[in-house]
């Protein structure tokens, strides 16, 4: 069986930030000098990218809710809010 793999520290691996995503989302830390494999299969890459997209959506939703909460704390209500520069008072 022939497995297609991507080199984590190759040009495409660097472009996709694979090592950074592995370090952020998995309970291991990788580096060019560690004894771990330096490749990732397409199936694992897809799972890593799905995890990344999920975390990005969660962080985006959390930031949106924080912004909404700041507006409400300043007396703004959805649909009635006039520009109040709340975001500048972080």
**Interatomic CA distance for residues 7 and 28, integer angstroms:** 17
pLDDT for the residue 19? 97
Give residue-wise pLDDT tens across range 62-85: 999 888 777 776 666 655 555 555
pLDDT at 9: 98
Report the distance separating Cα 81 and Cα 90, nearest Å: 18
Q: Report how far residue 29's alpha carbon sits from residue 15's, in angstroms, rounded to the nearest whole number.
A: 18
Query: Rounded to an integer, what is the distance from CA 69 to the centroid of its chain?
Result: 23
Domains and CATH numbers, the chain: 5-89 (3.40.1800)
Nearest partner of 69 among 57, 88, 86, 85, judged by Cα? 86
Which residue shows structure tokens 């069986």? 1
The tens digit of pLDDT for each residue in 10-37 reads 999 999 999 999 999 999 999 999 999 9
Residue 41 phi/psi, 5-degree rounding, is -80, 165
Q: CA-CA distance, 10 to 14, in Å (whole number)?
A: 6
């Amino acid at each position: 069986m022939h497995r297609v793999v991507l080199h984590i520290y190759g040009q495409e691996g660097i472009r996709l930030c694979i090592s950074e995503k592995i370090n952020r989302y998995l309970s291991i830390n990788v580096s060019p000098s560690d004894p771990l494999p330096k490749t990732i299969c397409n199936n694992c890459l897809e799972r890593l990218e799905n995890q990344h997209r999920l975390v990005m959506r969660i962080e985006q939703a959390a930031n949106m809710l924080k912004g909404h909460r700041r507006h409400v704390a300043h007396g703004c209500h959805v649909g009635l809010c006039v520009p109040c520069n709340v975001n500048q008072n972080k």
